[in-house]
């Protein structure tokens, strides 16, 4: 029986970091079909000597029909397939997740007397925090030449009041959640307010990246945070011992004082 394998991957994971089952399916497929050969994953497959073919159809229903037709005993191009009749046609999912495609394929398969077996194969999963990459990408898009004129015009000075405003709103949302921790609506509001505060962090980092004299990026901000957390928690990341809350607090304050003294020495 012919098979149609729908390969689902995360656009937030490097295209080469696919599961073993995904690579096996790709390498054993009779045909590997894609929507855009210039997307990251198809390019990675081509670099690995995997031949890919483009499907021109754009709508989910047209694309579904082409995919199902490609699984027929005649190879979808009007000729008898010379490949393994038990092999598969593999569809490399688009970065947007191909909305509507699975339903359209189900409709196409249901009209056939001898339909191909359809399998959804997850080739990679989002890592925890993966949506932060989306937030960075959206910020960069807003700040780009063809993005938002208002966002592009902002500076550290113009944005400074918003940081304080968003911090106050986060505090108010926190106080509400503390008072009623089981209220779903209040927790949703806190999520929203924390997102607004995160936006300010991303915004200032993106403005800083555009600064000609002393630029830094959101990666520099994240790296500084990681270094600080590791340095101030040697009982977790090192050999220090601190078991009680009081000992942990004292250790934190002592390390913080050392950092302050070292900074003063570097910048008298």
Three-class SS of the chain: CCEEEEEECCCCCCCCCCCHHHHHHHHHCCEEEECCCCCHHHHHHHHCCCCCEECCCCCHHHHHHHHHHHCCCECCCCCECCCCCCCEEEEECCCCCCCCHHHHHHHHHHCCCCCCEEEEEECCCCCCCHHHHHHHHHHHHHHCCCCCHHHHHCCHHHHHHHHHHHHHHHHHHHHHHHHCCCCHHHHHHHHHHHHHHHHHHHHHHHHHHCCCCCCCCHHHHHHHHHHHHHHCCHHHHCCCCCCCHHHHHHHHHHHHHHHHHHHHHHCC
**What's the pLDDT at 128?**
86
Question: CB under 8 Å to 75, separation ≥6 — which residues?
Answer: 30, 31, 81, 83
Q: Which residues are paired to 31 by β-bridges?
A: 89
Q: Which residues are paired to 92 by β-bridges?
A: 7
Give per-residue pLDDT as tens, 214-232: 899 999 999 999 999 999 9
**What's the pLDDT at 1?**
63
CA distance 112 to 101: 17
Reading the block at residue 168, the tokens are 């106050």
**What's the pLDDT at 75?**
47
Question: CB under 8 Å to 35, separation ≥6 — which residues?
Answer: 54, 55, 63, 92, 94, 98
Count CB neighbours of 31 within 10 A. 19
Question: CB under 8 Å to 207, separation ≥6 — which residues?
Answer: 143, 154, 155, 156, 159
Q: What percent of the chain has pLDDT over 70?
A: 94
**What's the pLDDT at 72?**
77
Query: Which string of b and e fits 162-175 if b means at least 16 CB within 10 Å?
Result: beeebeebbeebee
* CA angle 1–82–7, rounded 5-degree value: 55
Give per-residue pLDDT as tens, 160-170: 999 999 999 99
For the whole model, what pTM was predicted? Answer: 0.69
Q: How confident is the model at residue 73 (pLDDT cuts 50, 70, 90)?
A: low
Domains for the chain: give ranges and CATH numbers: 3-122 (3.40.1010.10), 130-230 (1.10.287.1080), 232-268 (no CATH)
**What's the pLDDT at 74?**
53
Q: Which residues are paired to 117 by β-bridges?
A: 3
Tokens 């089952």 sit on residue:
21
Give per-residue pLDDT as tens, 75-101: 444 443 444 334 689 999 888 889 999
């Amino acid at each position: 029986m012919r098979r149609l394998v729908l390969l689902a991957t995360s656009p937030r994971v490097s295209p080469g970091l696919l599961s073993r089952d995904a690579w096996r399916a790709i390498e054993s497929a009779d045909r590997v079909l894609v929507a855009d050969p210039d997307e990251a994953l198809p390019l990675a497959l081509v670099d690995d000597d995997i031949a890919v073919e483009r499907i021109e159809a754009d709508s989910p229903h047209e694309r579904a029909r082409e995919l199902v037709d490609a699984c027929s005993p005649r190879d979808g191009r009007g000729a008898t397939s010379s490949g393994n009749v038990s092999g598969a046609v593999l569809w490399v999912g688009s970065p947007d997740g191909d909305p509507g495609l699975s339903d359209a394929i189900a409709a196409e398969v249901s009209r056939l007397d001898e339909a191909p077996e359809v399998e959804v194969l997850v080739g990679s999963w989002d890592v925890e925090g993966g949506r932060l990459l989306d937030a960075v990408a959206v910020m960069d898009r807003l700040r780009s030449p063809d993005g938002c004129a208002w966002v592009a015009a902002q500076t550290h000075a113009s944005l400074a009041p918003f940081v304080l405003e968003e911090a106050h709103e986060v505090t108010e949302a926190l106080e509400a959640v503390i008072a009623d921790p089981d209220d779903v609506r209040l927790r949703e509001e806190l999520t929203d307010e924390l997102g607004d505060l995160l936006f300010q962090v991303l915004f200032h980092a993106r403005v800083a990246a555009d600064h000609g004299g002393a630029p830094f990026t959101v990666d520099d901000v994240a790296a500084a945070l990681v270094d600080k957390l590791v340095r101030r928690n040697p009982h977790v990341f090192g050999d220090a011992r601190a078991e009680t809350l009081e000992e942990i607090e004292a250790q934190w304050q002592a390390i913080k004082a050392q950092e302050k003294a070292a900074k003063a020495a570097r910048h008298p």
